[in-house]
Each structure stands twice: as structure tokens, then as C-alpha cells.
Amino acid sequence: MKQAIRIGTRESQLAVWQAMQVKELLAGQNVAAELVYIKSEGDIDLKTPLYEMGVQGIFTRSLDIALLNNRIDIAVHSMKDVPTQLPAGIIPAAALKRASWKDLLVYKGDWQDVSSKLGYTDGQWTTPNPKPETPNPELIIATSSIRRKAQWLNRYPQHNIDNLRGNVNTRLAKVAESNWHGAIFATAGLERINLRPEQSIELDWMLPAPAQGAIMVVCRAEDKEITNICAAFNDTDTALCTQIERDFLRALLGGCSTPISALAEVKNQQIYFQGNILSVDGKQKAAIEKTIPFDAATGAGALLAKELLANGGQAIADGIQKKEVTN
């Protein structure tokens, strides 16, 4: 290419880190690149819970507009933030190799006291003994994610959930200043920028958002040169697994206000899939777990969603939709 590729990115430390990874991958092909910083709607309103904003692509739309207006040549996103239906004229150019898909709890106070309330013993998560009748919540946990909130309340109905917005640095600071017992973060986000606190524990029992831990590069559909360049660093396993997860999400008509989780992993030359949908309060849950042969991967996400809906998921989805309409 004659000119440097313009990489669109949000301004947060994590977003810039992700964009720099792509810049380095391009440099490995002797392709020059430069970063172009663009503010997203999600970076401007840091108070309203994401699930109340109800906007698809709140962290990606500004970058998509810049891409379509030819202000940038590619955009780099946390894939879990990308709507399952990309805007017309924009296509996936690459999926980077996935990092950890797990969520983690950054906790405060004495770990022995916190762990006893969470059912974490001898390095393992055990089945908790919920006490819904407890007059005062045992722990106060912060998150802006409706998915994390629902899964937490499903496991710990006696706890209380507070809203937490902002970039990684801001959220960590808020935890330190608050009366919360802890807050939930994505492991990959904290580890990528070396901000994971010592006082943190991975939530192995919590299923992630579809495509969590993966990075997506998108470009204009007609830009064949960019498409070919980015194809060189596309990770096929990550692309396949996240596509199944995103198809699952799309078939369930899920968005920021729907607690849907999905995880597809390549194991023993097959794809192991786990997914669920919960009511917002965590009281209802429908889950699915399947092993899929590679030759059945195409379209698997939609079929898995259909099976989940037929086995309890539809009633939960209808309940969420009805509540959204009445509100």
C-alpha cells in the first residue's frame, strides 16, 4: 500500500492496546499503519447502566460511521461489543487469537470472609447455600452487565448488585472508593493492560458474553486489498467459535438488555458449546451443553438457540420482552 492504513480505535487504554496489537501485526507484513482516535457513545455517558441504554453497538457505531465515511480504513473492536448484524458495507476482516474468556471478581476486604460467603473452598467453587430470607444482603457486588448480574443473582440471590460504568481504570478506582465488596471484570481486559489486582479471583462458573476475550477487525466490504492483508492474521479457531456464539446470540434476539451467555471451544478436534439465558433477576435459567463435530459447525449457533428456546428459553425470553414493553 502507498499510504499507511488508518486504524480506528476508541481512546480508552484497553482499546488503544487492542489497536496497537493490530498495528504490530500489520508491521509484521511491512505494512505501515497509524491510529485514529474516535469517541463512542458508550464513552460519553458513563452513568446510565448499559442495559438501560438499550443501544446496539454503543461502543462501535461511531467507528462504523468513520469507516463508512472513509475517515479510517479498519476499525478494531472488542468482539463482544459488536452487534451480530454488521452495518451494510462493513465486513469482518480478521479475528485475533482469543485471550481468556473468563470473568473475574475484584474483591475488597478479608478474602477468608468473602470466600466463605461465596462458597470458594480449597481452590474450588462449591455449590453455595443461598439464603434468600437473609434480611440484609451478605455482599454488595458491582457491574453494569445484565448478564453478569443475572448469573450472580442466580447463584447468590441474597446479594445486592450496584451499577458500575466507565473504562477499566475508572471502574477499578470506583471499586477502591466504594463500600462494595467487589466488582466483576473481564479477565482479558485487565490482563492485557497489566491492571489485574492481586485481590481477584476468576469466576469459573460464570459463562461469558458471546465472543468475550476476542478482538475483531472490520473493514469496508469493497476494500479487497485491506481484506487480503488482514486475512493473514485471522485466527480460524477463534473466528469459528465466536461465529457460533454470535449466531446463537442473534437467533435468541439478544442485546444489552438480555442476559445471554455462550462459549464455544475447540476440544479434541470437536467444538464444545455451552450457552444459557436467564431472567433479569436471575430466578429463571435455561441452559444447553453440546459437543459439535467440525463438519456440523456451519449454522450450529442458530440450531443451538432453537433447541434452548424449546427447552425453557422461550418463556424466559418472552418474559424479558414483555417487561421491556411495559416499562
Backbone torsions φ then ψ of 292, nearest 5 degrees: -120, 125
CA gap 273, 88 in Å, rounded: 29
What's the CATH code, domain 236-327?
Answer: 3.30.160.40
CA gap 164, 183 in Å, rounded: 8
pLDDT at 129: 60
The single residue of 64, 73, 81, 223 carrying the catalytic annotation is: 81
Q: Assign domain 1-96+214-234 one CATH number from 3.40.50.720, 3.40.50.12780, 3.40.190.10, 2.60.40.1180.
A: 3.40.190.10
pLDDT at 136: 53
Whether the CB-CB separation of 201 and 107 falls below 8 Å is answered with yes
- Which residues make Cβ contacts (< 8 Å) with residue 194, sequence separation at least 6? none
How does DSSP classify residue 311?
I
Stated pTM of the model = 0.90
In the block, residue with C-alpha cell 411495559: 326
Laid out side by side, the sheet with 270-278 consists of 260-267, 270-278, 285-293
List of long-range contacts for 243-247, beta carbons under 8 Å, 24+ apart: 243/301, 244/271, 244/273, 244/292, 244/297, 244/300, 244/301, 244/304, 245/210, 245/211, 245/275, 245/301, 246/79, 246/84, 246/210, 246/211, 246/301, 247/84, 247/299, 247/300, 247/301, 247/302, 247/305
Task: Give buried/exposed letters for 256-268 (b at 16+ CB in 10 A, else e).
Answer: bbbbbbbbbeeee
pLDDT tens digits in sequence order for the chain, 327 residues long? 668 999 999 999 999 999 999 999 999 999 999 999 998 654 444 444 434 434 356 779 999 999 999 999 999 999 999 999 999 999 999 999 999 999 999 999 889 888 988 999 888 998 766 555 555 568 999 998 999 999 999 999 999 999 998 888 899 999 999 999 999 999 999 999 999 999 999 999 999 999 999 999 999 999 999 999 999 999 999 999 999 999 999 999 755 568 999 999 999 999 999 999 999 999 999 999 999 999 999 999 999 999 999 999 999 999 988 776 665
Whether the CB-CB separation of 218 and 77 falls below 8 Å is answered with yes
Q: Do domains 1-96+214-234 and 236-327 have the same CATH topology?
A: no
CA gap 229, 161 in Å, rounded: 44
pLDDT at 219: 98
pLDDT at 317: 92
- So where are the chain's domains? 1-96+214-234, 103-202, 236-327
Which residues lie across from 124 on neighbouring strands?
121
For helices 236-251 and 300-308, the axis angle rounded to 10 degrees is 40
pLDDT at 254: 58
120-121 and 124-125 beta bridge pairing: antiparallel
pLDDT at 289: 98
- Is 81 tagged catalytic? yes
Whether the CB-CB separation of 156 and 118 falls below 8 Å is answered with yes
In the block, residue with C-alpha cell 476494500: 223
HSE-CB of 146 using CA atoms within 13 angstroms? 20
Which residues lie across from 177 on neighbouring strands?
none
Which residues lie across from 106 on neighbouring strands?
183, 200
pLDDT at 191: 97
Q: Assign domain 103-202 one CATH number from 3.10.180.10, 3.40.50.300, 3.40.190.10, 3.50.30.60.
A: 3.40.190.10
CA gap 231, 160 in Å, rounded: 45
pLDDT at 167: 85
